[in-house]
Structure 1
Amino acid sequence: MHISLSSMIAYSFCHFLIIIVLLGLAIFIQLGTSRSKVEVLPGFEGPLPFKLETGYVGLGESHNDMQVFYYFIKSENDPEKDPLMLWLSGGPGCSSISGLLFQFGPLAFDTDLEEYDETGSLPNLILRPQSWTKVCSIIFVDLPFGTGFSYAKNLTAQRSDWKLVHHTHQFLRKWLSDHPEFISNEFYMGADSYSGIPGPAIVLEISNGNEIGLQPPINLQGYLLGNPITTRKEKNHKIPFAHGMGLISDELYASLQRNCRGEYVDIDSRNELCSRDINYFEECLSKLNVEHILKPCYKDDLPKAREAQWRRSLIQEPQLVPCKHYEDSLSNQWLNYENVRKSLNIREGTIGKWERCYKTDFENQISNSFEFHVNLSAKGYRSLIFSGDHDALVPFISTQAWIRALNYSIVEDWRPWLQQGQVAGYTRTYSNRMSFATVKGSGHIATQYNPEECFTMFTRWIANVPL
């Protein structure tokens, strides 16, 4: 059969177009969702003894516009049956690597070296024996956009409380679509600090999505929150907490009560006496580590080993200024190594300098999260709210206050809970299936300061047994 030259050219052109379309579709799919197994990491000796996956999930009409980065670690026990949890760090805008490396993931930076190398060398990683992945599969997600390795074309337009709620919900359903083997697993939402504001709203949106038949279904069972900001008026309890801990005098506390009448957040600018007392109060706490009042507050980012060196030194005392965190310098150092990014399969050119917390242009739209707790309690979901009892930033008494305002009857009254025969904190259980627990001697990020106690607390609660 004779084929004309023009027909051959037309056929070749069509064939070329098909190839281009298929290549474009392949790139689109790749950018929409991608995942990779990570078997080794720089700084850790040998292959990882657990299953780590990293990846991106694209959101929005054009998946190229918004890409959510995540770290996923399978349960080291029975991933087919063990619960699945999504963890959202606070900030807003702190990478979930905070939970993975500093709180309850299977890896931690080795900060117990005799001398810590501050020259910029690669930090070492060690195993954390109290990892929650011993009993639970965990997705550590970098949201809101601009956080960690997640990126978007228009960051400012995507950074608000409600955007964070919607994006987390969309991410989870897309992630489960790509991981259908986990659809039947019990699902829990976990968050801490600022994420006490969007966290309960995310849980409620997931629940409402299930009710209207969004796919895939999510086997939602409950949520847990650590030292959560809830009312945005935590300062009203920060002052009585400071008095109870002996941080301010009886006379100043009495004057604050008298002049401010219990309202320390929305202060009338004309109330000069209250403003004077507030300024004095702030001065009293200005050199204190408000996230953990028992811990020192240093000028520089110092790991534990350097803290110990300072303590041993009788020659020079560290200058006390607004506190910095050694985890910032360690994680920034590690995640800005090119080989680390290659191991984590980070897309080249998407993120410049990595920083643990992204702190700009976030819009606060949710005034408080109390009503979300009310709705979730009515739906019967389990919840665990826990607080380090030496946190002056979000004091445990502020958390107790809003829980008490839910007005649910007490099923099991205030009692100590134990870890290895010792009091690890105190707990109370309510009829709405909510448990409140303090972690004795701990601070704002209780999972970081007291990993053993928090591991015991979590493994009991996730197994639905009393603390």
Structure 2
Amino acid sequence: MVPPHSSLYYCCQFVLTFALFSLHMLTPLEASGSRVEHLPGFQGPLPFELETGYLGLGETDDDMQVFYYFVKSENNPQKDPLMLWLSGGPGCSSFSGLAYEIGPFAFEIKEYDGSVPSLVLRPQSWTKICSIIFVDLPLGTGFSYAKNVTDHRSDWKLVYHTHQFLRKWLIDHPEFLSNEFYIVADSYAGIPVPAILQEISNGNEKGLQPLINLQGYLLGNPLTSYREDNYRIQYAHGMGLISDELYASLQRSCKGEYIDVDSRNELCLGDLEYFHECLSGINLFNIVGSFCEDDLHMWRRSLTQELNASLNSRLTVPELRCRNYGFYLATKWFSDESVRKALHIREGTIGKWERCYRTDFEREIFSSVEFHANLSKKGYRSLIYSGDHDVVVPFISTQAWIRDLNYSIVDDWRSWFVNGQVGGYTRTYSNQMTYATVKGSGHIAPEYTPELCFPMFTRWISNLPL
């Protein structure tokens, strides 16, 4: 096997990618992009331009078909930036970003009565100033499908498939070739996205066509390495979730290592058990939010471990106050045939829609820090932001790897404001990386505090200081 970071490896990938692009031009596979003017649950025609479609990445129609939602900028699509959104998971549908975070519509959170769930407009949609492709990758996620889906589910395959998808999408949408291009993602996507950006940059340098006008990226509460857990203890202590005595004991008994604990270290294991007990009634995504058992199942142990619980709706209906209730409404919405018809979903390709499909995914990238370093050397802009009430990927772990990049500070720690109130704190580095906290927000910041994240995004994408 060729090592994944050798020059021969990248040469092989270049040949493979070029061959696949050539196949796209020579085979009868055609992209299927269709305008969506009405959606069940929304009153009247959509006041924004929505396109859905498939792009084939393989040699046959049922080999690898990637589904996407594309929302054109509501401002000036000819000049506004083009963005690609990837959800975390790994294996969560891009519909999560579309309906729960930054897209133009959302579910109306009310008790399900058996009819098609209602949709409402999101006033803080990032599509107000940006065109966004929401893509269902890795394969098997959302409405994307493949003949042998388990053969296509790993970190590196996600990297190559996303890169290939984007260049093919631009071939079919040449009117966006000159637009500035960014990738935006959050959570687990913090692992593969920097590698995807590096692949795009390398492809541009090697002359792959079409040229992608890559400018930078945005990552929210991103998983960056498999050492994030070691910062949860410090974070929990700083937020008053554990006592001074337990914190001191954990430091003594575990000596700063809370992940790979020696099974003979009974003191450390005992302290960790007490730590998890202290957090057992806390919403780990948002420590000031309501605690729901379903949410706890998602992240009971660690984002880096396999979990048996899926991220789609449970057999039991979540409580209306719970974050999962919105996910439950999505499964009901997608189970309606009128919805699938409106979105131009190919019949017989996907049975029950699941928001997140996590099984059979091979984790191969254990840290994305080296990719951030490479992207910094190439001068790409970046915005890294953290909801400051997230235990899953606490802001102190994100600050630690940014600090380790060892770039000088050009705009030191200060408040940023929305409507005269502190929205969070920010710092900018000489590698054009801006870091920001979002005050009072959780793991998926645009979902919890859209009124703060939208102005933060608007300023950054417009090259203005936060």
**Residue 446 (structure 1) aligned with residue 440 (structure 2):** no
**Residue 249 (structure 1) aligned with residue 247 (structure 2):** no
1:413 alignment counterpart: 412
Contiguous gaps of at least 5 residues in structure 1: 1-24, 302-317
Tell me whether 221-230 or 283-292 shows the greater mean CA deviation.
Answer: 283-292
**Residue 238 (structure 1) aligned with residue 237 (structure 2):** no
Equivalence map 1:211-290=2 (5 Å): 211-290=205-284
Query: TM-score with structure 1 length normalisation?
Result: 0.87
The aligned length equals 420
Separation in 2 of the partners of 1:172 and 1:44?
30
Tell me whether 421-430 or 102-111 shows the greater mean CA deviation.
Answer: 102-111
Separation in 1 of the partners of 2:79 and 2:364?
37
Aligned equivalent of 1:100, options 98, 101, 109: 98
Question: 1:142 and 1:407, CA in 2 relative to 1: closer, same or farther beyond 3 A?
Answer: same
Q: How far 1:279 moved relative to its partner?
A: 1.1
Aligned equivalent of 2:116, options 113, 119, 122: 122
Tell me whether 285-294 or 438-447 shows the greater mean CA deviation.
Answer: 285-294
Q: Deviations over 1:156-200 (max 9, x none)?
A: 110000000000000000000000000110000111000000010
**Residue 45 (structure 1) aligned with residue 43 (structure 2):** yes
SS at match of 1:264: coil
Q: Is the 8 A contact 1:32 1:63 kept in 2?
A: no
1:67 alignment counterpart: 65
2:166 alignment partner AA: L
Separation in 2 of the partners of 1:319 and 1:353?
18
2:290 alignment partner AA: P
Separation in 1 of the partners of 2:451 and 2:54?
32
Q: Is the 8 A contact 1:297 1:324 kept in 2?
A: no
Q: Is the 8 A contact 2:27 2:59 kept in 1?
A: no
2:77 alignment counterpart: 79
RMSD: 1.9
Q: Is the 8 A contact 2:230 2:259 kept in 1?
A: yes
Q: Is the 8 A contact 2:318 2:324 kept in 1?
A: no
1:33 alignment partner AA: A
Q: How far 1:234 moved relative to its partner?
A: 1.0
2:54 alignment partner AA: Y
Tell me whether 457-466 or 53-62 shows the greater mean CA deviation.
Answer: 53-62
Q: Deviations over 1:336-358 (max 9, x none)?
A: 11000000000000000001111
1:353 alignment partner AA: K
Q: How far 1:330 moved relative to its partner?
A: 1.2
Aligned equivalent of 1:157, options 151, 157, 169: 151
Q: How far 1:119 moved relative to its partner?
A: 3.8
Separation in 1 of the partners of 2:71 and 2:359?
29
Q: How far 1:121 moved relative to its partner?
A: 2.1
Moved over 4 A (4+): 28-31
Q: Is the 8 A contact 1:328 1:355 kept in 2?
A: no
Q: Is the 8 A contact 1:32 1:59 kept in 2?
A: no
Identity across aligned pairs (percent)?
71
Separation in 2 of the partners of 1:126 and 1:238?
36
SS at match of 2:281: coil
Contiguous gaps of at least 5 residues in structure 2: 1-22, 296-316
Q: How far 1:273 moved relative to its partner?
A: 1.1
SS at match of 2:425: strand
**Residue 179 (structure 1) aligned with residue 173 (structure 2):** yes
**Residue 354 (structure 1) aligned with residue 353 (structure 2):** yes
SS at match of 1:85: strand
Q: Is the 8 A contact 1:425 1:437 kept in 2?
A: yes
Q: How far 1:266 moved relative to its partner?
A: 1.6
1:458 alignment counterpart: 457
Query: TM-score with structure 2 length normalisation?
Result: 0.88
